[in-house]
């Protein structure tokens, strides 16, 4: 909860659209349309001003029908290819934070696109999730927050996570740094920047439902857009808030809640945490 208070800044009364955080979500494919929409809406619900989703053409149009609150950039084709990188580079200066990976699917052409974007975009913090983590296997990325689950971490590093938490934490720290924060998702989330380590215990088994990871990535991007200089505290706040929302929904609905339900709960949960 303290991390959330550190990250969220007071909005100026005379501020204008775009001055309270902007996020570019890069994700989606013909088979995974909902994931980037969930990430984008989660980011928006943290209280930032603007989210744009860059997605393959039909995916982007479907996202438009899902929510009028999300603007989309429609990229030619059914999935990301390396040629799309130039269009993304042209967009990046207009945003505070980049969130990449949700619903991208795994194709060689998409992997090339992700590696190109994450190597060239260094001036904006990046939240790297899901298929983008897999695409970056073995590649160091600066100015980033990685949000893997155990299998994604193993694909990225080539190393199996130990069972004991101390050994797991030490391995995680060896890949993290001040510029590269890791948020390892699990029954207990582990967040580290290589020196500081935080355990997050909010959350419950109902959060194994599809889409909760996309919500987490969006929360992290949105909170980071409030204060783009503090990746560690933004990641800690996102993990806490994501689990807290899941716990609140479990009390109301049992294990029948969905990632979409989590989106609607975000503003009220933030308000309760800040009281």
Nearest Cα residue to 84 out of 47, 112, 121, 45: 112
Band (198; pLDDT cuts 50, 70, 90): very high
The per-residue pLDDT for 131 is: 97
Average pLDDT of the chain to the nearest whole number: 96
The per-residue pLDDT for 101 is: 98
Domains identified in the chain and CATH numbers: 2-8+17-274 (3.40.1190.20)
The per-residue pLDDT for 16 is: 83
Q: Is the pLDDT of residue 13 over 90?
A: no
Handedness of CA 135, 231, 194, 209 (dihedral sign): negative
203-230 average pLDDT score: 95
97-114 average pLDDT score: 97
Each residue's pLDDT tens digit, 224-251? 999 777 999 999 999 999 999 999 999 9
Q: Is the pLDDT of residue 212 over 90?
A: yes
Each residue's pLDDT tens digit, 135-178? 999 999 999 999 999 999 999 999 999 999 999 999 999 999 98
Dump strand ranges (E) for 170-239.
Answer: 180-184, 189-192, 197-200
Q: Residues 191, 237: contact at Cβ < 8 Å?
A: no
Q: Residues 223, 7: contact at Cβ < 8 Å?
A: yes
110-126 average pLDDT score: 97
CB-CB neighbours of 171 under 10 Å: 18
The per-residue pLDDT for 1 is: 66
The per-residue pLDDT for 12 is: 82
Band (9; pLDDT cuts 50, 70, 90): confident
Interstrand relation of 126-128 and 97-100 (parallel, antiparallel or unpaired): parallel
Q: Residues 148, 133: contact at Cβ < 8 Å?
A: yes
Each residue's pLDDT tens digit, 44-54? 999 999 999 99
Q: Which run of H or E residues covers position 243? A: helix 231-253
Burial label, 206 (beta-carbon count in 10 A; 0-12, 13-18, 19+): middle
152 DSSP 8-state letter? H
For the entire predicted model, the pTM comes to 0.97
Band (19; pLDDT cuts 50, 70, 90): confident
């Amino acid at each position: 909860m303290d991390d959330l208070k550190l990250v969220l800044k007071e909005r100026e009364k005379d501020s204008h659209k775009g001055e309270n955080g902007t996020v570019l979500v890069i994700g989606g494919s013909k088979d995974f349309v909902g994931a980037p929409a969930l990430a984008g809406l989660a980011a928006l619900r943290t209280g930032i001003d603007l989210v744009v989703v860059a997605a393959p053409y039909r995916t982007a149009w479907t996202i438009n029908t899902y929510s009028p609150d999300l603007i989309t950039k429609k990229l030619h084709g059914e999935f990301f290819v390396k040629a799309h990188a130039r269009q993304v580079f042209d967009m990046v200066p207009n945003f505070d934070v980049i969130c990449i990976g949700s619903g991208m699917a795994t194709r060689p052409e998409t992997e090339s696109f992700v590696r190109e974007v994450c190597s060239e975009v260094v001036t904006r913090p990046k939240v790297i999730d899901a298929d983008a983590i897999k695409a970056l296997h073995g590649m160091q990325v600066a100015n980033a927050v990685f949000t893997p689950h155990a299998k994604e971490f193993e694909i990225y590093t080539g190393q199996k996570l130990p069972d004991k938490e101390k050994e797991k934490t030490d391995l995680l720290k060896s890949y993290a740094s001040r510029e590269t924060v890791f948020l390892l998702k699990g029954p207990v989330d582990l967040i580290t920047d290589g020196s500081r380590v935080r355990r997050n215990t909010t959350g419950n088994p109902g959060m194994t439902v599809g889409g909760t990871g996309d919500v987490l990535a969006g929360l992290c991007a949105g909170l980071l857009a409030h204060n783009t200089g503090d990746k560690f505290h933004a990641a800690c706040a996102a993990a806490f808030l994501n689990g807290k929302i899941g716990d609140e929904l479990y009390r109301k609905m049992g294990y029948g809640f969905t990632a979409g339900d989590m989106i609607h709960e975000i503003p009220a949960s933030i308000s309760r945490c800040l009281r």
